[in-house]
Amino acid sequence: MIYFLIYLFLEIFVSVEISAAIGPFWTFIEVIVSALAGLLLLTNFRYTFSENMRAMMAGEITPESFQKQNLAALVGAILLIVPGFFTDIVGLLLQFGIFSGFIARRFFGKSRPVRGPEMESENEFKKGECDVIDVEIVDHPDHRK
């Protein structure tokens, strides 16, 4: 409840200040343009999603980063559709990777490190065991002679 009240205060404060500066006509134009931009981003979200999927499959980003980027793009597009200057500002910031990563870390906590063989403190194998291939040779006598 407290977060909603903080949001409501910021939304009204920012909207009144900007509306007073630019006037009612340009406020109306901004609301329409930002809603159209949000709808455009939502309709093109499948391209953003597929590009992030390609980057994850290529190993350029982690699955956690994939989730955060897609969630930020989706939430940012929805915030652009909602009328108000504060939501438009946050929605625009979420469309950029630097700001979306910052906001995700702020609200979702620090990211966990990815486990791998290079992390020796958490590695369950002894040193050098990762390079060993365990095989069993079974000798079958040849009865065709």
pLDDT tens string 72-87: 889 999 999 999 999 9
Sign for the pseudo-dihedral over CA of 87, 93, 94, 100: negative
What pLDDT sits at residue 141? 75
pLDDT tens string 127-140: 655 666 667 777 77
What pLDDT sits at residue 121? 47
**Mean pLDDT of all residues in 86-106:** 80
What pLDDT sits at residue 124? 52
Q: With a threshold of 0.85, does the pTM exceed it?
A: no
Give which of 112, 115, 119 is closest to 64, Cα–Cα.
112
Alpha-carbon gap, residue 88 to 102, rounded angstroms: 17
